[in-house]
Structure 1
Amino acid sequence: MKAYLVSIGCDNYQSETLNNLSGAENDALAVYDVLVDSEYSIYEKESSYFLKSPVISDVKGTLEEALFDKECPDIFTLFFAGHGGVVDGTYYLCLNETKTDRMSFTGLSLTEIFRIVSSSGVKHVNLVIDACNTAGLVNDLLSLIKPELMGAKGSFGISILAAAASDEYAGEVAGQGLLTGSLINLISGRDKVNSDVEFLDLVNLGRVISTKFIQEGRDQTPSSWGMNLYGPSIFSKNPYHSQDDTISTHDFSFIPPASRVGMVLLNYKDDLWGLYDDLGNTEGVREFLEVIRSAGEAVDNTDDLVTLLKGVGYRFIEKFSPEYDFKQLELINAISTVLIPHLSNEKARVAFSEFMALFKFYGIRLLDDTLENLQEDKYYLINKEGAGFDVLSNYYYLPIRLSKLVGYFSQLLLVDEGVNEKVSAFLDLVRKDYSGHLMVMSEEQAPYLHSFFGVYHALGKGEQVKDLLISYMRDYIGCTGQVAALNLPAENTLKFLIQRYTQNKVNIEYKSNPDSLGASLLLQSNAYGIGEDVDLVLHALDRHSFHLFIPGNIGQFGGKIIENGFNMVLRCGSNFWTCKDFSDIVKEHFEKYSEIDLSSLSSIEKYSCVASSFVQPDRIPLMV
């Protein structure tokens, strides 16, 4: 199937009675780009043309070259944006040299265009005119409606899309014609036609656009016609055509299935659809991260990766938007994590900033909602549903939930310090009603608490939260550093709790050994100036092992496996005896094994490390 396009935009007019335009050439170029240069193109680039403010001879010469000098196409599309009008029942396209008082000599009539096309042997013609009074061209159709030609062998079919009624002007917004903008949105996949056929025809596209204009109450009435359609009427490829009859990428993303990225996503459709249907808890978000990471590795370039992450990410975030919990923030962090290795790319940086802005929106919403609910019900953070262990589970999960909240609110401070007052109000309520739950329970708390205390210290606000650090450190020493292992199965949490409160030692299979949570608290204790106080009771942790991973660089910090870095395990009473000793050893190893310059990190780099650690809590954001 051969398809050619001639796209004409006329901004400049020599006639004093025709005002120059500013967006017609842009419209014609945009149509050319989406029909010829996009991934959905069916038009041959070497046989398609873009004309800027041409004279009539240029247009006729181009039509002759396209339709007669080359192999005759099956489909020919002519797009025009500019001035147009009806004279003596004939519709004319106004070109650069057109004079309104000599329209029949200086304008290009549709009758002339039909005559040229009819003698070429082309099978189907698409005509799109974004100009005023275009519905007046209906009179020119009479030259085609002849009984001896209707349906005759070799006659061509024609589809026409006109921007406005015969007595209407064609409007524009931001330098783009309303008709052109709507058409481009449909054929590029930004808007969806409710059809999964492989190709779109101009008449149906016109109906969709016309209905949209009516619903929006616009003072413009696009219209479309089709005639003599004995064969297929094809205008463009349908971005939403899917080779899979069960699940389309549009079911779980904003990505058209016929696109390059859509074709990649079809390989992950079952996993993504399952997660979209029920994301579940935090583990669901981690599964989401693994799926989009794998899909991202399958695309060809960073631009396609950004398209994938935005198309899938925004759809998931929108799905769970009504919920006031961690889901939106976790999803944003998962998407941001996949972008970390690509932040040297401009498009990836822009997308990352957009997701940071989205994090700010949902972070403030969560903060406001949490404050409001705590002020109305001081037990708001406690799970009150169920019986038995469903209630007892608060002893395990409530400290983790509190750590997540302070962690996310510290991440929010990296984006907007202006929320400090609200975060302080939240912390005051925590001190008042939840001080007994400022406990170390699980290794999962490590990245959240490290970010919280690290951000406050970096912002010079450490004194505001030093009392909270003391509470966590006191509890850690009190339980002799016995914290639950990362990803401890739910069925073992009760066993861990019982042993934590009734035995001197927790079974090795339930606890983290060595742990990173204690390592973080030791570092923060030294930074906050309470290290010497901790040293007085540090003997309680004698022979306890602490673990930290030092990343080689930030670019790999988002990966599932960080290839370059150093795993450090230090034993209290053997490798160090004070908090300062511990901090000095960590600093020495960081300088030796990491390329990261902590003194020059940007807020985006700090934010990215926090995002990765929150969705992958097997690492601590030491950069904060």
Structure 2
Amino acid sequence: MSKVLLCIGCDDYQSLNKLSGAERDALAIRTALSTGPLSNINPADAYLLDSPARHQLEATLLDIQDRYDEIESFTLFFAGHGGEANESYFLCLSDTRADRLSTTGFALSRLFEFFNELKAAHCNVIIDACNAGGMVSNLGILLKPEVIGKAKTFGVSFFVSSAADQYAGETSRGGYGTLALLKVLAGEIDTGSRARMLDLVDIGRPAAQYVAEQTQGGQMPSVWGVNLYGHMPLFGNPHATDNPTSSLLGLTGISPASQAGQAISSQSAELYALMFAPEHELTPEKLFHVLTKFVDRLADIPNSVGAFIGGIWQSLEKSTGRHANSFSRVELSAACIALLLGTSDKDNTSRDCIVGLAHEIVGEVEHLLRDIVQRLQESPSSLCRHGIPDLFYLPQRISRILGWAGAAVHLARELGISDAPLKEALEQLSVFLMEHYASVCAGMSEDEAPYWASFLTAINTDDLNGFGELVVSTLISALVEHEGRLARPLLPAKNVCAYLKARADKDSAALKPFCNSPSETLALVFLISERHSLEEELDYNLLSLDHVHLNIFIPQSYLEFSQPFVPNGINHVFQIGHKVWAVADVVERWKTACIPQMENDTSLRHATTRIGALCASLIFPDRVPWFLLSH
């Protein structure tokens, strides 16, 4: 399929003020995107219009429709005047009149109608014009099915050089927005990506930042995009490397005319809603709610699920930097891995995508650990945020950090790369945690169980100055003190105060409605205590836990471990005082029943299954990756 480029520069206006650099900008973009070793567009498919009238633009678009049966990507660049009228945005062509903008300008919605007829999998729109950000407010109109079409919905990316109330400034060498884009294409501005190819959002983000800095906020470009059919490259990356931790998936794509493309586009409105949702709404739960149905539709189409999820990751990853949750990028990558788990046994693209995303998690977690250590050096209390609520949330925050750190160590080992940088960062972090957070690091909620399983199995008993022993001892103390009752997973915020009061009062009856029984945290403590020589301490306190239940849930197949409710598996339930009189009794059942069950699960023989199941347990902390303890 062809990649088509149409560049329009409009200097010569009949009724509006003439410009001097728009045609030059259009030529420069056409040259950059269609010539040279990094270009991704054939010069024969790159069109240039200088100061066209409205009918000339329409004729060119119709000619492109007739010339191409199917287009992989269509890129439109426009430099000139632009404006808003009647709640719509219009490109101003040579015969456009300011007093009749609605009837003489070229409406952006009209452009989308042409895009739909072109049957392009992805469309890039670059507008270096005044008030171009005004189209943002009309995005809902543009994305209606009657505008973009139901059957052949396309992915779309935008770079607009100015906000709705701003002019697009020019220099003697061209418009600010165009010059910034050209600097990125020439490698003068580094995008930070080391992938072999860049899409428009990769290119547009650093260009927008450059424009904002050069104009001191006088001109604020906007960049956003949705990849429905996989990563859609626009230009080669001048700073590319072959390092797998930087190159996620290479080139993937799904044709909208294909079976997979039709499965995606038939319900694409939900994807658009997801892509343009506020950052705080992009939780793993939200991603699963929307994306699982698409994964299910694609599951029987070879090599389509990985391409689809890879494109979704590419679209959403660019917004994670604005999220208040510093682990949002890690959670996005892990959620995508978990979505791929069910097809990883039969789909090469799913496996490749899991491996690429696992590399991303390892690199990102290492970066986050170093950032946390730096903040703790500056302020030892930096992990504390919300006063009284931290009595409940701080232990979970610590377990979450260390759980992802442990997961990154496990992933590094599965990928065959060094875990030394992670271990070094963990060593530094443990010093601060032991000095400032030792008494509150663990033992508040069952949510902590998968994180502690991940962390405690990733380290040796003599690592981190004995921090692992401190965690296990703290968990034992909390469970003994509160009769094996910790807050149930995902306890609603409205119940936190009542739970804390009941816990402080040691009121078992009041605690019960907020707690889980049986407890998987208690089961974890039973199985991990021996590693830290704490089994005698736990045995000594078992009388305080008499009649308490603990549980180990092992699925029939770990390929099902990312489902919201794992449908098949065995609950190994124990009751202290009923065939359990010592730690050894649980360990014996673990060895004779649980480990053989996991050994019979052939899916666990594959690294991608283990990676996917571990990520699923940290995304949905109501399940524990018990296979980590079987080694």
TM-score after normalising by structure 1: 0.60
Cα deviation code 1:177-213 (max 9, x no counterpart):
86439959xxxxxxxxx99x899449999x987979x
Cα deviation code 1:329-379 (max 9, x no counterpart):
111111101111222322211111111111123212211211111111111
From the superposition, tell whether residues 208 and 563 of structure 1 become closer, same or farther in structure 2 (CA, over 3 Å).
closer
From the superposition, tell whether residues 514 and 238 of structure 1 become closer, same or farther in structure 2 (CA, over 3 Å).
same
* Structure 2 SS opposite 1:513: coil
* Residue identity matched to 1:487: L
- Residues 553 and 596 in structure 1, CA contact (< 8 A), matched pair in contact too: no
Q: Which residue of 1 aligns with 2:581?
A: 577
State whether structure 2 residue 47 is matched by structure 1 residue 180: no
Equivalent positions of 1:413-562 (< 5 A) are 413-416=409-412, 417-418=419-420, 419-457=422-460, 465-505=468-508, 506-562=510-566
* Structure 2 SS opposite 1:540: helix
State whether structure 2 residue 402 is matched by structure 1 residue 362: no
From the superposition, tell whether residues 210 and 330 of structure 1 become closer, same or farther in structure 2 (CA, over 3 Å).
closer
Q: Which residue of 2 aligns with 1:255?
A: 228
Distance 2:569 2:618 in 1: 19
* Residue identity matched to 2:374: E
Identity %: 17
- Residues 549 and 573 in structure 2, CA contact (< 8 A), matched pair in contact too: yes
Cα drift, residue 428 of structure 1: 1.3
* Structure 1 SS opposite 2:554: strand
Q: Which residue of 1 aligns with 2:285?
A: 286
Q: Which residue of 2 aligns with 1:309?
A: 309
Distance 2:115 2:440 in 1: 68
Cα drift, residue 264 of structure 1: 2.3
Cα deviation code 1:532-557 (max 9, x no counterpart):
22111121111001111012222222
Distance 1:570 1:453 in 2: 22
Q: Which residue of 2 aligns with 1:298?
A: 297
Stretches of structure 2 lacking an aligned partner (at least 5 in a row) = 6-26, 29-33, 47-56, 79-113, 124-142, 157-224, 230-254, 413-418
Aligned residue pair count: 426
Distance 1:375 1:604 in 2: 36
* Structure 2 SS opposite 1:485: coil
Distance 1:182 1:518 in 2: 68
Cα drift, residue 276 of structure 1: 4.4
From the superposition, tell whether residues 272 and 623 of structure 1 become closer, same or farther in structure 2 (CA, over 3 Å).
farther
Query: Bigger shift: 597-606 or 449-458?
Result: 597-606
Distance 1:273 1:575 in 2: 53
Q: Which residue of 2 aligns with 1:237?
A: 119
Q: Which residue of 1 aligns with 2:159?
A: none
Q: Which residue of 1 aligns with 2:381?
A: 379
Distance 2:228 2:116 in 1: 22
Q: Which residue of 2 aligns with 1:331?
A: 332
From the superposition, tell whether residues 462 and 623 of structure 1 become closer, same or farther in structure 2 (CA, over 3 Å).
farther
From the superposition, tell whether residues 502 and 567 of structure 1 become closer, same or farther in structure 2 (CA, over 3 Å).
same
* Residue identity matched to 1:393: P
Distance 1:235 1:249 in 2: 11
Distance 2:308 2:358 in 1: 17
Distance 2:43 2:367 in 1: 34
* Residue identity matched to 2:273: W
TM-score after normalising by structure 2: 0.59
* Residue identity matched to 2:379: D
Stretches of structure 1 lacking an aligned partner (at least 5 in a row) = 1-33, 41-125, 129-162, 165-169, 185-193, 213-231, 385-390
* Residue identity matched to 1:332: S
1:393 to 382, 389, 393: 389
- Residues 491 and 514 in structure 2, CA contact (< 8 A), matched pair in contact too: yes
Cα deviation code 1:266-302 (max 9, x no counterpart):
52634762574224378x3212123211221022524
From the superposition, tell whether residues 443 and 210 of structure 1 become closer, same or farther in structure 2 (CA, over 3 Å).
closer
Please give the root-mean-square deviation of Cα atoms over the aligned residues, in Å. 4.1
Equivalent positions of 1:171-250 (< 5 A) are 173=37, 179-180=41-42, 200-201=64-65, 237-240=119-122, 244-245=145-146, 250=155
From the superposition, tell whether residues 440 and 243 of structure 1 become closer, same or farther in structure 2 (CA, over 3 Å).
same
State whether structure 2 residue 572 is matched by structure 1 residue 568: yes
From the superposition, tell whether residues 240 and 198 of structure 1 become closer, same or farther in structure 2 (CA, over 3 Å).
farther
- Residues 453 and 462 in structure 1, CA contact (< 8 A), matched pair in contact too: no
* Structure 2 SS opposite 1:301: coil
- Residues 255 and 262 in structure 1, CA contact (< 8 A), matched pair in contact too: no
Structure showing greater Rg: 1
